Amino acid sequence: MQVGVQMWVMPIAVWVAALVAAYVAIARGPQPTARAYVIDQLLRYILLFPLGVLSLWAFIGHVFFPEQSAAAIGWTTSPFQYEIGVANLGLGLASIYAAFSTFQARVTIVIAAFCFLIGAGVGHINDILETGNLAPGNAGPIMITDFLTPIALAVLLFLVVRKPKSPATVALEHELRVARKALDDYRTALDKLGKD
């Protein structure tokens, strides 16, 4: 697949993968689904795919295919591509770790991603305004995800009032609600039998 086509497909594909994975996890999770569980799953899969996988993809492109990557962005090859590639490697690996780690790890990587990706997005906009560069790697979906991904993650973190509960805790709370309801129903039935 040509790099220019990849610049259109990959940013969209990782977002679709994240939303499908989150949907499946939520659908298979405890019912009724708690708000904290939904937020946790969305955070996990956005960290994993749009931030983690896409960053690793950018690492591979900038480090191993610098000419093709630069051409897809509408730029000339530069030694800075190696540095950007390695920065993407760190961001990608840290994002995958944070997806399955603590709330604090998630906050930390979202701060780093927010600074890095928003800055990259502003750079793309400046390039469009100054040079008219509408190359797929500069003005396509990658520019949109430079803003969408960190903003979505920041909003989800903002919605988490406290550390999200683990899936095991959410499942246990659900079982306790079911048990309490069954006990209340039993007591109601006993009271009804006593009155008859």
Quickly count: other Cβ atoms within 10 Å of residue 176's Cβ. Answer: 10
Quickly state the pLDDT bin for 4 (edges 50, 70, 90). low
CA separation (Å) from 151 to 72, 126, 156, 160?
Answer: 25, 19, 9, 14
Least confident of 105-114, 140-149, 166-175: 166-175
Quickly state the pLDDT bin for 162 (edges 50, 70, 90). low
CA–CA distance, 185 with 179 (Å, rounded to integer): 10
Instruction: Note the pLDDT of residue 196.
Output: 66
Instruction: Note the pLDDT of residue 163.
Output: 59
CA–CA distance, 47 with 100 (Å, rounded to integer): 9
Residue 25 identity: A
Residues 41-46 have a mean pLDDT of: 97
Rg of the chain over all Cα atoms, to the nearest angstrom: 23
- Residues 36, 72: contact at Cβ < 8 Å? no
Instruction: Note the pLDDT of residue 3.
Output: 62
Residues 37-57 have a mean pLDDT of: 96
Instruction: Note the pLDDT of residue 153.
Output: 97
Domain ranges of the chain: 3-165, 167-196
Least confident of 2-11, 14-23, 103-112, 141-150: 2-11
Quickly state the pLDDT bin for 30 (edges 50, 70, 90). confident
Least confident of 31-35, 48-52, 56-60, 141-145: 31-35
Instruction: Note the pLDDT of residue 33.
Output: 80
Instruction: Note the pLDDT of residue 27.
Output: 93
Residues 39-62 have a mean pLDDT of: 96
